[in-house]
Amino acid sequence: KQLPKITHDNSLIILAQNGYGQLNKLPYQHVFQAVVYISGQKVNNKVQHFRDYQLCIQDSTLTRQFKQMVRPSKIEVVLQENIEKSIWYKLLVNLGINTITAIGHQPAKILKSPHIESICRRILVDGLKVARAEQINFEDHIIDDILNIYNGYPDEMGTSMYYDVINKHPLEVE
């Protein structure tokens, strides 16, 4: 409802929400999906930043201009020739950690349990099967790589889904 009030036919719109399949819902010519690597949480009216300031976007003339515009900020724009694989990679990364922290009602430290890590691994294996069914191919070690990423998370770091669940907010799919 709000986009027509602030855009025109040539507006550049960057969808900075992790996920898949939303671009066709925006009836504009210059719409790009960003893969977001910015980790933080909102506490009251303040944002607590954990790590990263990165947006990965499909390479194009317009996104190159956007990259130049945000250069003075902390945001790092990474232009990619094939954003689809990056979108699926982030989906896989979120699939494991978001699911486990939300269902377990605990931040990242929940993965220190070998049993929980095993469940997380199985979730990632299933996600990888879906990606491959969609013709997105990853190397066989991708699951171990993702689990290593999780090991680098601070124990008290939550995920967006975790915070939605504990704060009784609707999930993105609702």
How confident is the model over 6-29, as pLDDT tens digits? 998 889 999 987 777 788 888 889
How confident is the model over 65-103, as pLDDT tens digits? 999 999 999 999 999 998 999 999 999 999 999 999 999
What CATH number has the domain spanning 3-81?
A: 3.40.50.720
Cβ–Cβ under 8 Å, residues 88 and 65: no
Question: What is the C-alpha radius of gyration for the chain, rounded to an integer number of angstroms?
Answer: 17
Q: Where in the chain is the domain with CATH 3.40.50.720?
A: 3-81
What CATH number has the domain spanning 84-166?
A: 1.10.1040.10
**β-strands 46-58, 76-80: how paired?**
parallel
Q: Where in the chain is the domain with CATH 1.10.1040.10?
A: 84-166
What is this structure's pTM?
Answer: 0.81
